[in-house]
Amino acid sequence: MKNEKIFVTKSSMPDYEEYIEAIKPLWDTHWLTNMGQYHQELEQKLKEYLGVRELSLMVNGHMALELTIQAMGFPEGAEVITTPFTFISTTHAIVRNRLKPVFCDVKPEDGTIDETKIEELITEHTVAIVPVHVYGNVCNVEEIQRIADKYSLKVIYDAAHAFGVSYKGKKIGNFGDASIFSFHATKVFNTIEGGAAVFSDHRIYETLFNLKNFGIRGEEMVTEVGANAKMNEFCAIMGLCNLKHVEGAIACRKDLCEEYDRQLRNVPGIKMFETKPEVERNYGYYPILIEKDYPLSRDELYEKLKEQGIHTRKYFYPLTSDQACFKNKYRSVSLGCARELAKKVLVLPVYDKMEAKTLTYVIESIRSNS
Ligand SMILES: *Cc1c(COP(=O)(O)O)cnc(C)c1O
């Protein structure tokens, strides 16, 4: 296995013939984008799969988040409480809307925003909370909603990692005012590049429809300063194909994650995040925490695995609040726990059809140090 490169993920793809067959009609219609037949079909299918009433398909998850925040119409300079323990996109989407991110610490047990520290960050300028279901770990949605209701704040979840996740029998996209998903090639479900916004208020659908197509309302009428964030038909068809296999992909990931659990649970110095009871998971990621009693530091283990051809990722290090473009610019409570997690976390390879021998090789490489 030594000469083979193992990456943290490998994009799910349908069989070649399945996709080729599915895109053939495009050579008849020559309709390649602009909310075509497959765009519409995928929106419908995703609504069913995600168990939501309203969904807008987008070119990627980032634009879904950026435009959903824009659609809420917050005043410039308003404050948004969010987590720094996430992919940079979450923070960019807030700042690119000319809003101020206010960073809240996260919880050690699952890396989601620490709901007990949200209220102290609220000011007269606060308009929204943007939490992240990081690794598909479900935020404390009940408490976040209670706070939002008390202070009349919007809640927009970055659910980029949470495709297919349910909590207490409720599909994850039904919490808060809106959620966004990413269908990037590296995610549990992909459309090559893609994403979607889901929300409760139908008026948002109209707004997002305009924002993702330049604000064009009619042949001679533009009413909003929109962007271009439409998903094209090739991507929509990739989504329709992958959606047929996503249950199988999640089942495969589940087996792999459970084997990691069994084999790594008792290794001194390796810890895992906790999953809330009543969560139906998607097994999108397998993060571990490298504690002091492991013989190597997280960075040393990362390097050692890399030498052995195993490319893990330090998701999420550094915190977004520590990146050059944001450092020392915004208010935050102490981010002690987020900083600690960012120092200890390592995401191990897990993907659909990952071979048993690859899994064993990764496990052995980690165990052999202890
Ligand atoms: C992947 C991701 C995004 C952005 O999605 P894209 O489809 O890559 O634009 C946003 N937030 C988080 C947490 C992500 O992991």
- pLDDT tens per residue, range 265-301: 999 999 999 999 999 999 999 999 999 999 999 999 9
Atom of ligand 1 nearest to the CA of 90: 11
Number of helices followed by number of strands (H, E) in the chain: 11, 17
Does position 1 have pLDDT exceeding 90, yes or no? no
Measured in Å, residue 89 CA sits from the centre of ligand 1 at 6
Is residue 213 in contact with ligand 1, taking CB distance under 6 Å? Answer: no
pTM of the model: 0.98
Mean pLDDT of 73-90: 98
* Ligand 1 atom 13 nearest Cα: 87
Nearest CA to ligand 1 atom 7: 61
Query: How far is C-alpha 342 from the chain's CA centre?
Result: 17
Q: Where are the alpha helices (DSSP H) in 30-140?
A: 37-50, 61-71, 88-95
Closest CA to ligand 1's atom 2? 160
pLDDT tens sequence across 359-368: 999 999 999 9
Return the percentage of the chain with pLDDT > 90, whole number.
96
pLDDT at position 96: 98
Dihedral in degrees, nearest 10, Cα atoms 202, 207, 209, 215: 160
Q: How confident is the model over 221-264, as pLDDT tens digits?
A: 999 999 999 999 999 999 999 999 999 999 999 999 999 999 99
Q: What share of the chain is helix, strand, coil (3-state, %, to 5)?
A: 40, 20, 45
The end-to-end CA distance of the chain, in Å, is 21
CATH for 16-240?
3.40.640.10
> pLDDT tens digit string along 191-227?
999 999 999 999 999 999 999 999 999 999 999 999 9
| In CATH, 246-367 is 3.40.50.620 | no
Mean pLDDT of 72-88: 98
Q: Is the CB of 283 under 6 A from ligand 1?
A: no
**In the chain, where the domains are located:** 16-240, 246-367
Q: Does ligand 1 have an atom closer than 6 angstroms to the CB of 66? A: no
Give the separation between CA 285 and CA 121, rounded to whole angstroms. Answer: 30
Residue type at 334 in one-letter notation? S
In 3D space, the residue among 84, 69, 44, 72 whose CA is nearest the CA of residue 236 turns out to be 44
DSSP 149-191: HHHT-EEEEE-TT-TT-EETTEEGGGSSSEEEEE--TTSSS--
Q: Are strands 195-199 and 178-182 parallel, antiparallel or unpaired?
A: antiparallel
Count how many Cα atoms sit within 13 Å of the Cα of residue 303 in the half-sphere of its side chain: 5
Residues 7-65 have pLDDT tens digits of 999 999 999 999 999 999 999 999 999 999 999 999 999 999 999 999 999 999 999 99
> How many other β-carbons are positioned within 10 Å of the β-carbon of residue 147?
18
| pLDDT tens by residue, 310-359 | 999 999 999 999 999 999 999 888 999 999 999 999 999 999 999 999 99
Cα of 188 from ligand 1 centre, angstroms: 12
